[in-house]
C-alpha cells in the first residue's frame, strides 16, 4: 500500500483546520516528535531528523496561518463594530450684503 506524500499533507492540513481535532493533531505531532519511535529513527545522523523537521515545519506553518487568520478576522470585526463617522463637506458661496 503506497500512500502519496500529498495525500498525507492534505489529511494533516484538513485535520488541523478542523476546530474539533486541532488540539489532538497538535498534541499527536508533539508526542511523535518526542517519542523514540519514528518512521526514520533519530540514530541515523541526517535521515533521522528529516521526518521530524518536515513535521515541525508543517505544524508551524499551519498554526501560524490559523493565528494570522484569527487575527485578521478579529481586526475586521473590531473595525466593523466601531461606528464610522462620515463627514460631509458643504461648499457654500457667500455673498456680502451691504
Residue 82, pLDDT score: 65
* Every domain of the chain and the residues it spans: 5-81
User: Tens digit of pLDDT for each residue in 36-88?
Assistant: 787 777 777 788 788 888 889 988 988 898 899 889 988 888 777 766 667 78
* Overall pTM surpassing 0.75 (yes/no): no
Q: What is the mean pLDDT of residues 18-30?
A: 89
Q: Which H/E stretch holds residue 49?
A: helix 47-81
| Residue 26 CA: distances (Å) to CA of 1, 30, 38, 92 | 26, 6, 16, 64
Amino acid at each position: 500500500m503506497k500512500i502519496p506524500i500529498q495525500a498525507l499533507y492534505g489529511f494533516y492540513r484538513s485535520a488541523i483546520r478542523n476546530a474539533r481535532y486541532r488540539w489532538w493533531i497538535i498534541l499527536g505531532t508533539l508526542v511523535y516528535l518526542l517519542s523514540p519511535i519514528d518512521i526514520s529513527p533519530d540514530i541515523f545522523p541526517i535521515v533521522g531528523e528529516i521526518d521530524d523537521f518536515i513535521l515541525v515545519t508543517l505544524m508551524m506553518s499551519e498554526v501560524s496561518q490559523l493565528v494570522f487568520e484569527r487575527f485578521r478576522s478579529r481586526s475586521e470585526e473590531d473595525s466593523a463594530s466601531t461606528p464610522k463617522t462620515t463627514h460631509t463637506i458643504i461648499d457654500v458661496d457667500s455673498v456680502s450684503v451691504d
